[in-house]
Amino acid sequence: MSYTIIKTETLDGVGLIRLNRPQAMNALNGALMAEVVDALQAFDRDPDVGAMVITGDERAFAAGADIKEMADASVVEMMLAERIEHWDRIRQIKKPIIAAVSGWCLGGGNELAMACDMIVASESAKFGQPEINLGVIPGAGGTQRLTRAVGKAVAMEMVLNNRTLDAEEALRYGLVNRVVPVERYLEEALALAKEIAARAPLAVRLGKEMVNHAFESFLADGVADERRAFYILFSTEDQKEGMRAFIEKRKPQWKGK
Known active-site residue 50:
no
Q: With contacts defined by CB under 6 A, name the span among 6-14, 38-46, 104-112, 146-154 that binds ligand DAK.
A: 104-112
> Angle at which helices 108-115 and 83-91 pack, to 10 degrees?
30
What share of residues in the chain are helix, strand, coil (percent, to 5)?
A: 55, 15, 30
What stretches of 39-177 adopt beta strand conformation (E)? 51-55, 60-62, 97-101, 104-106, 118-122, 126-128, 165-166
Residue 108 touches ligand DAK, criterion: CB under 6 A? yes
Q: Is residue 227 near ligand DAK by the rule CB under 6 A?
A: yes
Stretch that binds ligand DAK, among 11-19, 103-111, 164-172, 189-197 (CB under 6 A): 103-111
Among 37, 50, 66, 180, binds ligand DAK (CB under 6 A): 66
Q: Is residue 199 a contact point for ligand DAK (CB under 6 A)?
A: no
- Euclidean distance between CA atoms 168 and 174, whole angstroms: 10
**Residue 123 among the catalytic residues:** no
Question: Exactly one of 84, 171, 198, 232 binds ligand DAK (CB under 6 A); which one?
Answer: 84
If the CB atoms of residues 80 and 210 are measured against ligand DAK, the closer one turns out to be 80
Helix (H, G, I), strand (E, B) or coil at 199: coil
Q: Pick the catalytic residue: 108, 128, 141, 142?
A: 108
Letters for 128-167 (x = contact with ligand DAK by CB under 6 A, - = none) are --xx-xx----xx---------------------------
Contact between 93 and ligand DAK per CB under 6 A: no
Q: Kindly tell me which of 173 and 246 has the beta carbon lying closer to ligand DAK.
A: 246
Are the CB atoms for 10 and 49 separated by under 8 Å?
yes
The answer to whether 68 contacts ligand DAK (rule: CB under 6 A) is: yes
The residue among 66, 116, 73, 123 whose CA lies nearest residue 95 is 116
Q: State the alpha helices, DSSP H only, in 100-257.
A: 108-115, 142-150, 152-161, 167-172, 185-197, 201-216, 219-232, 237-247
Task: List the one residue from 25, 37, 154, 165 that touches ligand DAK (CB under 6 A).
Answer: 25
- φ, ψ for residue 31, nearest 5 deg: -65, -40
Beta-carbon contacts of residue 123 (< 8 Å; ≥ 6 apart): 167, 168, 179, 180, 181, 182
Confirm or reject binding of residue 191 to ligand DAK (CB under 6 A). Answer: no
Whether 65 is catalytic is yes
For this structure, is 85 an active site residue? no
**Residue ranges that bind ligand DAK, judged by CB under 6 A:** 24-25, 27, 63-68, 84, 87, 104, 106-108, 130-131, 133-134, 139-140, 227, 230
* Residues acting as catalytic residues: 65, 108, 111, 131
